[in-house]
Amino acid sequence: MTVNVLQPGLSTTVQDLGRPGFYHVGIPLSGGMDRYALIAANLLVGNDDGDAVLETTFLGPELQFLEDALVAVTGADLPPLVDGVEQPVWEAFSIKAGQVLSFDYLRSGARSYIAIAGGIDVPLALGSRSTYALGGLGGYQGRALKAGDMLSVGPAKRPAGPGRGIGPELHPPLPTVTELRMLPGLYWHRMTDEAAANFFEDVWKLAPEADRIGGRFRGGRSPKLVDRPQPFGAGSNPSNITDACYPYGSIQIPGCLEPIVLHRDAVSVGGYFMVGTVISADMDLIGQLPPNAKTRFVKVDMEQALEARRAYRRRLDRLRASLS
């Protein structure tokens, strides 16, 4: 089964659940930024959780299907069109040979997941089909899709048909002011008490150039740091540390100006202090923030972080149960 890429959209990449195990040599996890939506799209078309799908950002692609196929689109509210006729999101639908899948304008969210029964069939690279564009690794020739690319799709794994959907109670919320829960730590102690309080008080806005590596937030007050002589090797700016390994979701503040949250294609090592880490349960949410999305950071402790993780799991279990 083959899909012809007529238009690639703004940034459309092949992603699965990622490539763990190589962060120590600078190859990040990659994989869908919104993993819940990725898994949901796969389950709707009868795929396994971690089959490869297309992740598309803001502006969807135009894809011509050369054979009949079953498709589902989840994540952002980016309405799919089959030969111009609108199809539901979070629900499987059929496409006939020769028809074109395109997208209407984005209504909310940022990233959509397009699953095709059988999964996108690109070669495995270090155990994953995810695209890591910075390193030219995985996915379709190590890069985002271009017009003229021909995507192979594997054989369907189990029977599934159109009309199977996921109710709105199981769609993740897309609030107007997003709260990102974070666990303070790492180099949190570098900030003054006042700067620490401001960090949680201020409303931040996601800068438009946010990508799979990370997102920068603007609009809050720049933090003041506790004075200290700079340690050998750290560099001259007070926001510099001796280059260290960056956790996924870690929040760094280069030049004490604007916080950056690292995501699935994180740069693994760098020399900027970090004030803490967005909890695992809220990482998907970052993938759905549109440009200028209003955001607050909310302080949690480890117990709350683990409870949020359990709640995320329970929602996934309900999703699975609703489709079985």
Partner 1 sequence: MKPRYSFGGDEHVFVEFGEEMSLEGFFASMSLTNAIRDSRIRGVTEICPANATLLVKYDPDVISPADMMGEIRQLETAAEKTEPVLRTRIIEMPVYYNDPWTHETLMRFRDRHQAPDATDLEYSAKISGYDDVSSFIGAHAGSPWFVSAVGFVAGLPFMYQMVERPLQIDVPKYLRPRLDTPRLTVGHGGCFGCVYSVRGAGGYQMFGVTPMPIYDPRQELNYLRDFMIFFKPGDIVKFKPVGREEYDDTVRRVDANNFEPLIRQVTFNLEDFHKAPTACNQALEGILHDR
**Residue in the block written with tokens 């609108």:** 86
Residues near 50 by beta carbon (within 8 Å), at least 6 away in sequence: 16, 17, 39, 42
Cβ-in-10-Å burial (0-12, 13-18, 19+) of 134 comes to middle
Among 186, 260, 285, 286, binds partner 1 (CB under 8 A): 186
Closer CB to partner 1, 5 or 27, in the complex: 27
Among 95, 182, 293, 319, binds partner 1 (CB under 8 A): 182
> Among candidates 56, 63, 45, 68, which has minimal Cα distance to 118?
45
Task: Tell whether residue 280 is a contact of partner 1 (CB under 8 A).
Answer: yes
| Cα(222)–Cα(303) distance, integer angstroms | 29
Task: Tell whether residue 267 is a contact of partner 1 (CB under 8 A).
Answer: yes
Contact 251, 282 (CB under 8 A): no
Convert residues 117-156 into a mask of x (bound to partner 1 by CB under 8 A) and - (unbound).
Answer: --------xx-----x-xxxx----x--------------
CB of 195 to partner 1, least distance (A): 18
Contact 202, 194 (CB under 8 A): no
CB of 12 to partner 1, least distance (A): 20
Residues near 197 by beta carbon (within 8 Å), at least 6 away in sequence: none
- DSSP code of residue 203: -
Task: Tell whether residue 297 is a contact of partner 1 (CB under 8 A).
Answer: no
Closer CB to partner 1, 33 or 114, in the complex: 33
Task: Tell whether residue 298 is a contact of partner 1 (CB under 8 A).
Answer: no
Site for partner 1 in 14-53 (CB under 8 A): 20-27
Could you list the residues that contact partner 1 (CB under 8 A)? 20-27, 125-126, 132, 134-137, 142, 182-183, 185-186, 188, 231-236, 240-250, 267-271, 274, 276-280, 302, 305-306, 309, 313
